[in-house]
């Protein structure tokens, strides 16, 4: 063991500057405290934040180029792909994002087919899930994605601003030192002065360059437009930033549980006895309702005086749908008590079966009403929703028979709903409604004002109806309702559905009279 050699009376500055004198000793290490700690901390932090800020600036510029003054279309999935690639590039270490990329591609297809509120929702959902999957550790599977997506969703958009400000306020040099300023001034003084002299001489010798430079600085400044664009940049940056950083974890559920150890479960006043009596009463009521519906719809029982079959169908369709939905909620609440009595499970299965039959009869009622008054968006959506409710009731019955948990049922109902919405995003309902209503011209005249409100996408349905018999003629006053602009649309606004309708129907709708068609 060696002892440290020291000489008394040596100034402290000389002691600090002479650390190299003991550099040959194996136990001595060079003194590294001459570097300011804040500078080294800033260097490490800057290495993490600089790629993120660079990606943020590039993405904001890309959003301005794709969306400013243009309607969303193909630009939306392109920007979502760029944002996903930026998040992948920032993540270290890099990984192969097969599952995340597949989610993004599948959810981008509706936006490529046609931009609408539903396709926008799927695009945002897919982007959030794909980027959240990137933030998970390597080897993470899809079941971990929903929680990660919730974490990312919590950061939109204000948490992103807080995170950005916190990142920029990390420890680092508040202002450059005097020596650093002198260093930069010494290095850039001669190049700057020489460049100014050279540009002046070139402008004097080249009038074309002088004219171009004058045009470059000759512009009208519209402060209102500049302010709107700056607000667009700021809003875009706030939405983009949370996708580029790892979101904070969700609060632990155990903490909330520990704070309320004696919390009671919500029973809604149910118990085995009340569930048994409720099922008996409810089933008897539904039996009477189902018997009356079947007798009117199939047997031809007489309706009350002054009521038509169409008004009967319209009056009961939506209330019966609400009844079926409440039946599913009651089945979930009563499920814990079904094993307390031998009659409860059969009564519950009868209750669910009757409500499924109730949903089918409401679907028949709605179909009768459509035959009388035509198809609309609301009636189309109601038919789809009734089908989902009936499928949910059948899933509930299967859950009870197989003793599955409520989360099992909720997951499959959610998957069924999302799958249905995903398929609906590819359906041109405007064309479907127009074709259906025009094919019923033998029963009543078409509602041309409503068909006009469907817009240009209904042109393909009208064209298909005109190819069949009888040929419906478009009144001259309504021909402009389905005309698609012939000028070339910007590629940013391109959508497959609009392109297909334009290619198939265009403005080639038949508005000639029946007399003109006669040979």
Q: What is the pLDDT of residues 448-486, one digit of tens each?
A: 888 888 888 888 888 888 887 666 777 877 777 777 655
Of the two residues 502 and 249, the one the predictor is more confident about is 502
How distant, in Å, are the alpha carbons of 15, 17, 21, 71, 492 from that of 26?
19, 19, 13, 70, 67
Please say whether the beta carbons of 115 and 77 come within 8 A: no
- Report the alpha-carbon distance of residue 368 to residue 439 in Å, rounded: 15
Confidence check: pLDDT of 205 > 60: yes
> What per-residue confidence (pLDDT) applies to 45?
46
Q: Which long-range contacts (CB under 8 A, 24 or more apart) does 133-136 make?
A: 133/97, 133/99, 133/100, 133/103, 134/84, 134/87, 134/88, 134/91, 134/95, 134/97, 134/100, 135/91, 135/246, 135/247
Q: Is the peptide bond before 385 cis (omega within 30 degrees of 0)?
A: no
Confidence check: pLDDT of 256 > 50: no
Confidence check: pLDDT of 176 > 60: no
Among 192-201, 356-365, 481-490, name the one with the lowest average pLDDT. Answer: 481-490
Confidence check: pLDDT of 138 > 80: no
Q: CB atoms < 10 A from the CB of 99, how many? A: 17
User: What confidence tier does 32 reach under pLDDT thresholds 50, 70, 90?
Assistant: very low
> What per-residue confidence (pLDDT) applies to 166?
65
**Mean per-residue pLDDT for 389-401?**
90
Of the two residues 64 and 215, the one the predictor is more confident about is 64
What is the tens place of the pLDDT at every residue in 154-168? 777 666 566 656 665
Closest CA to 18 of 2, 6, 27: 6
User: What confidence tier does 508 reach under pLDDT thresholds 50, 70, 90?
Assistant: low
3-state secondary structure of 84: helix
Q: pTM score, two decimals? A: 0.73
Q: CB atoms < 10 A from the CB of 233, how many? A: 16
Of the two residues 373 and 73, the one the predictor is more confident about is 73
Q: CB atoms < 10 A from the CB of 402, how many? A: 8
- Report the alpha-carbon distance of residue 40 to residue 32 in Å, rounded: 11
Among 54-68, 219-233, 354-368, name the one with the lowest average pLDDT. Answer: 219-233
Take residue 504 and report the two structure tokens written for it. 């198939």
User: What confidence tier does 106 reach under pLDDT thresholds 50, 70, 90?
Assistant: very high
User: What confidence tier does 513 reach under pLDDT thresholds 50, 70, 90?
Assistant: very low
> What per-residue confidence (pLDDT) applies to 337?
84
């Amino acid at each position: 063991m060696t002892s440290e050699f020291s000489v008394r009376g040596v100034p402290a500055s000389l002691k600090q500057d002479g650390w190299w004198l003991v550099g040959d000793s194996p136990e001595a290490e060079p003194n590294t405290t001459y570097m300011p700690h804040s500078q080294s901390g800033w260097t490490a932090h800057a290495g993490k934040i600089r790629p993120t800020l660079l990606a943020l600036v590039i993405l904001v510029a890309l959003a301005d180029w794709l969306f400013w003054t243009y309607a969303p279309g193909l630009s939306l999935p392109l920007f979502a792909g760029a944002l996903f690639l930026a998040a992948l590039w920032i993540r270290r270490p890099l990984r192969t994002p097969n599952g995340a990329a597949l989610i993004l591609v599948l959810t981008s297809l509706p936006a490529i087919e046609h931009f609408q509120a539903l396709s926008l929702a799927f695009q945002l959902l897919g982007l959030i899930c794909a980027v959240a999957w990137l933030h998970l550790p390597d080897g993470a599977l899809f079941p971990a994605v929903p929680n990660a997506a919730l974490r990312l969703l919590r950061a939109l958009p204000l948490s992103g601003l807080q995170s950005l400000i916190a990142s920029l306020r990390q420890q680092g040099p508040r202002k450059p030192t005097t020596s650093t300023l002198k260093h930069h001034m010494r290095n850039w003084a001669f190049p700057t002065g020489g460049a100014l002299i050279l540009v002046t001489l070139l402008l004097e010798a080249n009038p074309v360059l002088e004219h171009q430079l004058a045009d470059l600085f000759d512009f009208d400044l519209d402060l209102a437009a500049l302010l709107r664009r700056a607000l667009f940049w700021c809003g875009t940056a706030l939405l983009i930033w949370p996708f580029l950083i790892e979101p904070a974890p969700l609060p632990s559920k155990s903490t909330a549980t520990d704070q309320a150890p004696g919390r009671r479960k919500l029973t809604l006043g149910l118990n085995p006895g009340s569930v048994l009596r409720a099922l008996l009463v409810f089933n008897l009521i539904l039996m009477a309702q189902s018997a009356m519906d079947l007798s009117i719809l199939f047997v031809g029982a007489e309706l009350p005086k002054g009521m038509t079959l169409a008004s009967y169908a319209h009056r009961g369709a939506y209330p019966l749908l609400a009844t079926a939905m409440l039946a599913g909620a009651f089945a979930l609440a009563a499920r814990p008590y079904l094993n307390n009595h031998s009659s409860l499970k059969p009564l519950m299965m009868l209750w669910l079966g009757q409500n499924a039959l109730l949903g089918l009869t409401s679907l028949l009622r709605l179909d009768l009403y459509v035959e009388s008054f035509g198809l609309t968006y609301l009636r189309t959506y109601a038919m789809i929703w009734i089908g989902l409710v009936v499928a949910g009731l059948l899933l509930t019955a299967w859950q009870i028979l197989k003793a599955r948990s409520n989360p099992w049922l909720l997951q499959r109902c959610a998957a069924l709903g999302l799958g249905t919405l995903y398929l609906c995003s590819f359906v041109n309902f405007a064309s479907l409604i127009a074709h259906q209503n025009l094919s019923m011209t033998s029963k009543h005249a078409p509602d041309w004002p409503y068909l006009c409100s469907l817009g240009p996408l209904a042109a393909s349905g009208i064209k298909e109806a005109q190819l069949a018999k009888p040929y419906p003629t478009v009144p001259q006053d309504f021909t402009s309702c389905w005309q698609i602009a012939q000028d070339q649309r910007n590629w940013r606004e391109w959508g497959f559905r609009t392109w297909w309708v334009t290619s198939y129907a265009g403005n080639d709708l038949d508005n000639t009279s029946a007399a003109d068609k006669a040979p």
